[in-house]
């Protein structure tokens, strides 16, 4: 029996539309051993379009209508790349992304939605709110909402479009702003709105629009938008303060340039199996797909219905089995919400309306969202047997995996390693012996008058994106150098990669080292060698070297009574990633955390040194309390911590209040024996976060009190907006150092 099944095939999902969220859910419930699922997503909180108008009207909250892609990917065991795709090479089988190596695939699926066709409306991109992508619309809508609410004059809204999305937006604007505050008009290019809806339903919608004071202008084809005015073809212009555009859409430009078969509007041409008609190892669904011989309007209903078939066909394709046909329905239930608890419904020639119709729509929408929010309660089905991967190359890899050796025989193969090293950029600093020489060890000369500062750290991957993981590890390891006032010079890597076919091992190792190397180069350091080995999971570490001037060398032992304690970034990484493992962290919390972890510490270190830091350390595994007590012990001082002033990452406090902790929390909690805190302090969730282990945490330094506020202000300007004074050094001590906690 295999101790670990190697990755043999890669399925990469590009985009996270309504069909792909179903794929992730299906694979989470029934994974395929040996098959790795990855998702490349521009947004990690993907909106459900059916609830957009309700959000605009104030019926729904942001979280009500967004699927947490990070949580869903974690449930599916999928790698998540939070960045947009910029291209696909169906021959080389790679997805291009910005500022990093391409992502290889064996099978790819595309569900990126569509792009508004603004080619016929000059100025629309600059002067209007465009409905798609919905994520961008919501961000701009929040700013507009505040502006309109604060205005004392009548705001004239115009919605350009005559489909269901445009009509619902008009209703939403009317519901959100009273008649005395705003006027709403709908401008359609065709002879009537909702042309694909039955005549009875259109009559009902027209009546409801009129009842709510929404003017409808048919045969008004917009051709240009300027500030405060919209121009139409063969019609007088309209003076409008704010314009929303919900017109027809096209496919993304990079798809048309990919070599994949697309139609005249740039949509991917797929057959009844949702498989590209030009490249069978590429699939597509949702608005971006055009199914041959089944012409249908773009609809979320079809995208949702395609999800299970797409999931099944991806499963069958990777196992070389016959595919299942998908036939989109000709008619479906349409529900147009007036966003005030009322809706019009239609199916074929049948139409109806009422409050009950809105309750039906609300029930359907919320039921869809619940499928992706209660993931922790799902019991996964038994995984598909590995025997399904029956091709000769896959079976050869499985046979090799059963007999992997230890010791030096567990090193990554020479051909893989040489290929990776050849792709990494050469060192930016001078070395006697480095990567280029391929010698047994690296060598460099330490300049006269400099002190060599060294540190080492290593840990296993806690995120699935190897490039991002490499960046975080490099930032984390460099933190020790910055904390001592040293300038990074060079690094030796310690990398672990799971066994897989050589091309997959090379891709993972290169992505991880390329991410780390980008950080090292930015810091002025070079990667001069290291060691790589096979292991059960991705892991990375560095032995880092820095150079410091003796008189500028910082130590933990430099604190003096009267010093102010400054922390450069918020705490909470441990509890956030502990919650993510349990599917209980929101995507935006993790994103904010990752942004903090990948913020260079060099400007902060320079600022602290420039303001005469007396002692410094970086806050990592022992938590804020543990590292602060280390400084106090080394300096023979007592310190007083203002708990309320400690900056905390979004979501960490809420999770700590729920009792969630990192696995290292219990060991770190022993630091509390040298702390005193009031009952209110000890009971606060913030108190527990003092023991939360940090990865790539901030710098903690003592600065003369008179300079502390100026130092913090400069840190804010240098990219550390949450830097704060969190306490003071109170007095010298002859015995064990002590930490007093107050503020609650």
Chain mean pLDDT for the chain: 88
Domain boundary among 511, 538, 553: 553
Domain co-membership, 171 together with 289: no
Distances (CA, A) of 226 to 65, 122, 243, 292: 32, 8, 10, 39
The residue-averaged pLDDT of 426-451 equals 73
| Segment among 210-224, 347-361, 380-394 with least mean pLDDT | 380-394
Q: Rounded distance, CA 652 to CA 212, Å? A: 44
- 290 φ/ψ angles, rounded to the nearest 5 degrees: -120, 110
pLDDT tens column, 46-58? 999 889 999 999 9
| CATH number of the domain encompassing residue 410 | 3.30.1330.10
Report the pLDDT value the prediction gives residue 116, as an integer from 0 to 100: 79
Query: Percent helix, strand and coil across the chain, each rounded to 5?
Result: 40, 25, 35
- 123 φ/ψ angles, rounded to the nearest 5 degrees: 85, 0
CB of 217 closer than 8 Å to CB of 186:
yes
Distances (CA, A) of 505 to 14, 101, 318, 500: 21, 14, 19, 6
Would residue 392 count as lying in a domain? no
Domain co-membership, 530 together with 429: yes
Q: Rounded distance, CA 622 to CA 555, Å? A: 17
CB of 455 closer than 8 Å to CB of 544:
yes
Domain co-membership, 128 together with 195: yes
Catalytic, out of 408, 477, 526, 607: 408
The H or E element containing residue 98 is none
Domain co-membership, 507 together with 422: yes
Domain co-membership, 98 together with 176: no
Note if 711 is an active site residue. no
Domain boundary among 511, 529, 553: 553
Domain co-membership, 714 together with 660: yes
Label residue 5 by pLDDT band (50, 70, 90). Answer: confident
Label residues 356-370 b or e (16+ Cβ within 10 Å = b): ebbebbbeebeebbe
Label residue 389 by pLDDT band (50, 70, 90). Answer: low
pLDDT tens column, 470-511? 999 999 999 999 999 999 999 999 999 998 888 999 999 999
Picking from 246, 65, 56, 59, the residue whose alpha carbon sits closest to that of residue 167 is: 246
Would residue 342 count as lying in a domain? no
Q: Rounded distance, CA 703 to CA 724, Å? A: 12
| Half-sphere exposure of residue 350: CA atoms within 13 angstroms, side-chain side | 7
Picking from 422, 437, 581, the residue whose alpha carbon sits closest to that of residue 510 is: 422
CA dihedral (481, 487, 490, 495) positive or negative: positive
Q: Rounded distance, CA 2 to CA 395, Å? A: 13
Q: Rounded distance, CA 726 to CA 362, Å? A: 47
517: pLDDT strictly greater than 60: yes
- 65 φ/ψ angles, rounded to the nearest 5 degrees: -115, 15
Helix/strand/coil for 535: coil
Q: Rounded distance, CA 499 to CA 10, Å? A: 14
391: pLDDT strictly greater than 80: no
Domain boundary among 300, 330, 360: 330
Domain co-membership, 204 together with 223: yes
The residue-averaged pLDDT of 524-540 equals 89
Q: Rounded distance, CA 258 to CA 261, Å? A: 9
CB of 107 closer than 8 Å to CB of 317:
yes
| CATH number of the domain encompassing residue 645 | 3.90.650.10
Domain co-membership, 566 together with 637: yes
Torsion (CA) 578, 583, 587, 592 in degrees, nearest 10: -10
Domain co-membership, 527 together with 629: no
| Segment among 389-398, 423-432, 455-464, 551-560 with least mean pLDDT | 389-398
Cα angle, residue 460 at apex, residues 458 and 465 outer, rounded to 5°? 115
Label residue 410 by pLDDT band (50, 70, 90). Answer: very low
Label residue 3 by pLDDT band (50, 70, 90). Answer: very low
622 preceded by cis ω (within 30°)?
no
Would residue 378 count as lying in a domain? no
Domain co-membership, 278 together with 225: no
The residue-averaged pLDDT of 655-675 equals 87
Domain co-membership, 153 together with 297: no
Q: Is the full-model pTM beyond 0.85?
A: yes
Report the pLDDT value the prediction gives residue 477, as an integer from 0 to 100: 96
Report the pLDDT value the prediction gives residue 64, as an integer from 0 to 100: 93
Would residue 119 count as lying in a domain? no
Domain co-membership, 630 together with 532: no
pLDDT tens column, 595-642? 999 999 999 999 999 999 999 999 999 999 999 999 999 999 999 999
Would residue 346 count as lying in a domain? no
Range of the domain at 315: 9-114+251-330
Picking from 611, 605, 594, the residue whose alpha carbon sits closest to that of residue 453 is: 605
Per the structure, the count of domains in the chain is 4
Report the pLDDT value the prediction gives residue 449, as an integer from 0 to 100: 82
Report the pLDDT value the prediction gives residue 288, as an integer from 0 to 100: 92
Report the pLDDT value the prediction gives residue 624, as an integer from 0 to 100: 95
Q: Rounded distance, CA 502 to CA 493, Å? A: 20
Helix/strand/coil for 289: strand
| CATH number of the domain encompassing residue 284 | 3.50.50.60
The residue-averaged pLDDT of 329-337 equals 85
The residue-averaged pLDDT of 275-299 equals 88
Query: Which runs of consecutive H residues, i.e. helices, occur in 649-701?
Result: 652-657, 665-668, 679-683, 685-689
């Amino acid at each position: 029996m295999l101790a670990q099944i190697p990755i043999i095939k890669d399925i990469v999902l590009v985009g996270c539309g309504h069909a792909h969220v179903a794929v992730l859910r299906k694979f989470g419930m029934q994974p395929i051993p040996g098959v790795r699922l990855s998702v490349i997503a521009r947004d990690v909180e993907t909106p459900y379009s059916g609830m957009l108008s309700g959000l605009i009207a104030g019926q729904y909250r942001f979280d009500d209508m967004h699927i947490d892609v990070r949580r869903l990917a974690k449930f599916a065991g999928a790698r998540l790349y939070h960045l947009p795709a910029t291209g696909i090479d169906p021959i080389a089988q790679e997805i291009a992304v910005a500022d990093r190596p391409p992502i290889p695939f064996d099978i790819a699926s595309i569900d990126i939605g569509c792009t508004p066709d603004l080619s016929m409306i000059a100025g629309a991109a600059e002067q209007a709110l465009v409905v798609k992508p919905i994520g961008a619309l919501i961000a701009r809508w929040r700013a507009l909402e505040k502006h309109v609410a604060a205005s004392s004059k009548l705001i004239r809204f115009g919605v350009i479009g005559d489909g269901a999305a445009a009509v619902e937006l008009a209703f939403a604007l009317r519901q959100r702003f009273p008649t005395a505050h705003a006027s709403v008009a709908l401008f359609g290019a065709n002879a009537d709105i909702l042309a694909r809806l039955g005549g009875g339903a259109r009559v009902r919608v027209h009546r409801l629009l009129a009842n709510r004071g929404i003017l409808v202008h048919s045969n008004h084809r917009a051709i240009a938008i300027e500030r405060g005015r919209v121009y139409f073809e063969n019609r007088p212009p309209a003076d409008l303060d704010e314009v929303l555009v919900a017109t027809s859409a096209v496919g993304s430009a990079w798809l048309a340039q990919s070599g994949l078969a697309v139609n005249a509007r740039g949509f991917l041409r797929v057959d009844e199996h949702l498989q590209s008609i030009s490249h069978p190892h590429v699939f597509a669904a949702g608005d971006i797909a055009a199914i041959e011989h089944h012409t249908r309007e773009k609809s979320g209903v079809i995208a949702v219905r395609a999800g299970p078939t797409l999931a099944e066909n991806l499963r069958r394709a990777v196992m070389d089995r016959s595919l299942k046909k998908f036939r989109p329905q000709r008619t479906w239930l349409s529900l147009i919400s007036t966003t005030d608890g009322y809706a019009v419904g239609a199916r074929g020639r049948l139409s109806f309306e009422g409050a009950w119709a809105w309750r039906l729509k609300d029930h359907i929408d919320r039921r869809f969202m619940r499928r992706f929010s209660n993931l922790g309660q799902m019991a996964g089905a038994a995984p598909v047997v590995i025997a399904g991967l029956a091709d000769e190359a896959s079976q050869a890899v499985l046979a090799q995996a059963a007999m992997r050796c230890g010791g030096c025989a567990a090193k990554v193969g020479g051909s893989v390693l040489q290929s990776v090293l050849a792709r990494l950029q050469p060192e930016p600093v001078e070395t006697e012996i480095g990567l280029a020489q391929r010698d047994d060890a690296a060598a460099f000369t330490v300049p006269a008058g400099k002190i060599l500062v060294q540190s080492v750290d290593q840990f296993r991957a806690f995120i699935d994106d190897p490039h991002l993981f490499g960046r975080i590890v490099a930032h984390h390891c460099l933190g020790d150098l910055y904390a001592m006032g040293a300038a990074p010079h060079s690094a030796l890597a310690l990398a672990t990669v799971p066994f897989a076919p050589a091309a997959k091992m090379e891709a993972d190792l290169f992505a991880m080292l390329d991410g780390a190397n980008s950080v090292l180069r930015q810091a002025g350091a070079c990667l001069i060698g290291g060691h790589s080995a096979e292991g059960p999971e991705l892991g990375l570490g560095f032995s880092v070297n820095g150079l410091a001037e003796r008189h500028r060398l910082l130590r933990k032992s430099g604190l003096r009574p009267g010093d102010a304690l400054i922390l450069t970034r918020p705490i909470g990484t441990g509890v956030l990633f502990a919650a993510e493992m349990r599917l209980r962290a929101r995507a935006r919390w993790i994103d904010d955390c990752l942004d903090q972890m990948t913020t260079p510490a060099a400007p902060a270190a320079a600022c602290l040194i420039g303001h005469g830091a007396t002692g410094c350390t970086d806050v990592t595994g022992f938590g804020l309390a543990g590292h602060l007590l280390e400084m106090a012990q080394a300096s023979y001082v007592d310190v007083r911590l203002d708990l309320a002033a400690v900056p905390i990452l979004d979501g960490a406090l809420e999770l700590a209040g729920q009792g969630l902790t990192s696995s290292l929390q219990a060991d770190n909690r022993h630091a509390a024996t040298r702390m005193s805190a009031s009952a209110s302090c000890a009971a606060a969730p913030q108190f527990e976060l003092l023991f939360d282990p940090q990865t790539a945490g901030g710098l903690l330094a003592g600065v003369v009190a008179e300079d502390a506020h100026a130092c913090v202000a400069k840190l804010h300007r240098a990219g550390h907006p949450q830097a704060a004074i969190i306490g003071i050094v109170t007095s010298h001590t002859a015995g064990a150092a002590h930490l007093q906690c107050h503020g609650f």
